[in-house]
C-alpha cells in the first residue's frame, strides 16, 4: 500500500479544511485551505473537490468550520447559523447523495448538543471521524471486490472513482488497488470522460503515480475496445444507488453498461453505504445539469460556435438489469436488487 497515493483529498487541519485543488490537476499539484463553510460550498460547486464520498466529507467539514468559527454564545443562535450553512451546502450539487448524508449526519450531532462548546467539540470530532472512516470503509470495499478481478484482467472504468474522489483510497479504483495488492497484474482502460475530463486529468494522474498499468482512450473508443475483447470487466463508482437498484454515476456510465451487456462483460458499480439512498426510487433523483461552457470549451479553449444550444447532464442512470453485482464494504449485492439493497444496506 505504501507505494500508492496516500495523500488525503480532504482533511481537517487545526481549525481549517485542506483540500487538493482538483481543478489544477494534473498540471499543478496544490492545496487550498478554507476557514468558512461558504468557501467549502464554492469548492464543491466548482469541483475543487468532487466525487461523491469526498464531497460528503467536505460538506461535513464545512459544517464543522461553521461551528468552530461561530461567535454565537447561545445554542439556538449557533444552530440557526448551522442551518443556514447546511442549506448552502445542500444546494451545491444535487445528485451525489453522500452530500446530503454528510450534512444530515453533522446536523444530527449539532441538534443533540446541550451547549455551544459541546456542539463545537462534537462537530469537529464527527468531521474527523467521517474523514478516517471514509478511508477505512473504502479499503474494506476494495477487499470485498478484489476477487472479481483476475490476474491479467483489463478493467474499464469511467470518470474518477479513485483516491481523489474519496478521502484517500477510492471505490472503483480501490477495488483495482486491492487486486494489485493481492499480487495480480491489472490494467485499467481510462475513458477521458468529457466534458470535465476527470478520466484524463485525475484517473490517469492517480494510476500513473501509483504505477498501475493504464491506457487512456477517448470516450468514443469504448464500444470498439469491447468489440475487440479488450475489456474483461467494468468497474465504476456511483453518486447514488436508489432502493430499486438504479445506479446514478458520471455521464457515459450507462452506455458502458449497455455495451457491457452486448459483449457479455460483467458490469460492477462499487459504492459505500453512504451512496445508497434507501428513501428514494430512481424517479425521485435530480440529475445535475451543468453549464454550457464545459461542453463548448475544452480547458478554457472554445471548440464550438457561439450560440449553439447545449445540453450538459453531468450524470446518467443505469437500470438494475444491466448490473452484474454491486461491490460494497458489506460485501457483494446481487439481484434481485430491489430486495437485496434494503436487506443488506439498512
Ligand atoms: O462530477 P464528479 O467528478 O463529482 O463525478 C464523480 C463520479 O461520477 C464518480 O464516479 C462518483 O462520484 C463516485 S466517486 C467514488
pLDDT above 60: residue 1? no
In the beta sheet, which residues pair with residue 144? none
Distance 77 CA to ligand 1 centre (A): 35
Active-site amino acid positions = 239
Mean pLDDT, rounded, for 68-82 = 98
Residue 98's closest CA among 137, 144, 148, 149? 137
Q: Whose Cα sits closest to atom 10 in ligand 1?
A: 237
Residue 137's closest CA among 272, 5, 270? 272
Mean pLDDT, rounded, for 212-228 = 98
Using a 6 Å CB cutoff, which residues line ligand 1? 50-53, 96, 159, 161, 165-166, 171, 198, 237-239, 249-250, 314
- Of 4-8, 173-177, 180-184, the one with minimum mean pLDDT is 4-8
Q: How far is CA 178 from the centre of its chain?
A: 18
Q: Which residues contact 280 (CB under 8 A, 6 or more apart)?
A: 240, 242, 243
Distance 51 CA to ligand 1 centre (A): 4
The pLDDT > 70 percentage for the chain reads 99
**Helix, strand, coil percentages in the chain from 3-state DSSP, rounded to 5:** 45, 15, 40
Cβ atoms of 123 and 64 closer than 8 Å: yes
Cβ atoms of 58 and 49 closer than 8 Å: yes
The pLDDT > 90 percentage for the chain reads 97
Residue 266's closest CA among 322, 203, 338? 322
**Three-state secondary structure call for residue 199:** helix
Distance 75 CA to ligand 1 centre (A): 36
236 CA: nearest ligand 1 atom: 10
| All cell numbers assigned to 251 | 455521464
Q: Whose Cα sits closest to atom 5 in ligand 1?
A: 51
Confidence at 6, pLDDT banded by 50, 70, 90 = confident
Mean pLDDT, rounded, for 296-300 = 91
Cis link prior to 197 (omega < 30° from 0)?
A: no
Instruction: Give the mean pLDDT of the chain.
Output: 97
Mean pLDDT, rounded, for 328-339 = 98
Distance 34 CA to ligand 1 centre (A): 22
Measured distance CA(220)–CA(229) in Å, rounded? 16
Mean pLDDT, rounded, for 209-219 = 97
Cβ atoms of 163 and 198 closer than 8 Å: no
Q: Which residues contact 139 (CB under 8 A, 6 or more apart)?
A: 169, 174, 178
Of residues 1 and 332, the one with the higher pLDDT is: 332
Q: Which residues contact 199 (CB under 8 A, 6 or more apart)?
A: 157, 158, 159, 160, 190, 191, 192, 193, 216
Confidence at 3, pLDDT banded by 50, 70, 90 = low
Write down the pLDDT at residue 5.
72
pLDDT in tens, 245-292: 999 999 999 999 999 999 999 999 999 999 999 999 999 999 999 999
pLDDT in tens, 140-176: 999 999 999 999 999 999 999 999 999 999 999 999 9
Measured distance CA(109)–CA(172) in Å, rounded? 30
Mean pLDDT, rounded, for 165-192 = 98
Pairing status of strand 301-302 against strand 297-298: antiparallel
Q: Is 252 left (phi over 0), alpha (psi -120 to 50) or beta?
A: left
171 CA: nearest ligand 1 atom: 15
Identify the DSSP state of 3: T
Write down the pLDDT at residue 144.
98
270 CA: nearest ligand 1 atom: 15
pTM (whole model) above 0.75: yes
Amino acid at each position: 500500500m505504501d507505494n500508492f497515493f496516500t495523500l488525503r483529498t480532504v482533511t481537517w487541519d487545526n481549525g481549517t479544511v485542506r483540500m487538493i485543488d482538483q481543478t489544477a490537476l494534473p498540471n499543478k499539484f496544490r492545496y487550498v485551505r478554507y476557514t468558512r463553510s461558504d468557501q467549502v460550498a464554492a469548492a464543491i460547486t466548482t469541483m475543487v473537490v468532487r466525487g461523491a464520498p469526498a464531497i460528503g466529507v467536505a460538506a461535513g467539514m464545512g459544517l464543522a468550520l461553521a461551528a468552530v468559527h461561530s461567535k454565537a454564545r447561545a445554542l439556538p443562535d449557533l444552530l440557526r447559523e448551522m442551518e443556514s450553512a447546511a442549506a448552502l451546502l445542500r444546494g451545491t450539487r444535487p445528485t451525489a447523495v453522500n452530500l446530503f448524508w454528510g450534512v444530515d449526519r453533522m446536523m444530527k450531532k449539532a441538534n443533540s448538543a446541550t451547549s455551544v462548546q459541546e456542539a463545537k467539540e462534537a462537530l469537529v470530532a464527527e468531521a474527523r471521524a467521517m474523514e478516517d472512516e471514509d478511508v477505512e470503509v473504502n479499503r474494506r470495499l476494495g477487499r470485498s471486490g478484489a476477487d472479481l478481478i483476475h490476474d491479467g484482467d483489463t478493467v474499464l472504468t469511467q470518470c474518477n472513482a479513485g483516491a481523489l474522489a474519496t478521502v484517500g483510497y477510492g471505490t472503483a479504483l480501490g477495488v483495482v488497488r486491492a487486486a494489485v495488492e493481492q499480487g495480480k497484474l491489472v490494467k485499467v482502460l481510462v475513458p477521458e470522460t468529457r466534458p470535465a475530463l476527470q478520466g484524463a486529468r485525475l484517473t490517469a494522474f492517480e494510476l500513473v503515480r501509483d504505477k498501475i498499468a493504464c491506457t487512456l482512450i477517448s470516450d468514443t473508443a469504448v464500444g470498439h475496445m469491447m468489440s475487440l475483447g479488450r475489456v474483461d470487466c467494468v468497474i465504476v463508482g456511483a453518486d447514488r444507488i436508489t432502493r430499486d437498484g438504479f445506479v446514478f454515476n458520471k455521464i457515459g456510465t450507462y452506455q458502458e453498461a449497455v455495451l457491457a451487456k452486448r459483449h457479455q462483460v460483467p458490469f460492477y458499480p462499487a459504492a459505500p453505504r453512504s451512496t445508497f439512498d434507501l428513501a428514494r426510487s430512481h424517479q425521485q433523483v435530480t440529475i445535475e445539469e451543468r453549464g454550457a461552457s464545459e461542453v463548448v470549451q475544452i480547458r478554457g479553449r472554445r471548440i464550438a460556435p457561439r450560440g449553439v444550444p447545449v445540453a450538459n447532464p453531468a450524470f446518467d442512470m443505469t437500470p438494475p438489469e444491466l448490473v452484474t453485482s454491486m461491490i460494497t464494504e458489506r460485501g457483494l449485492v446481487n439481484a434481485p436488487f430491489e430486495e437485496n439493497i434494503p436487506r443488506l444496506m439498512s
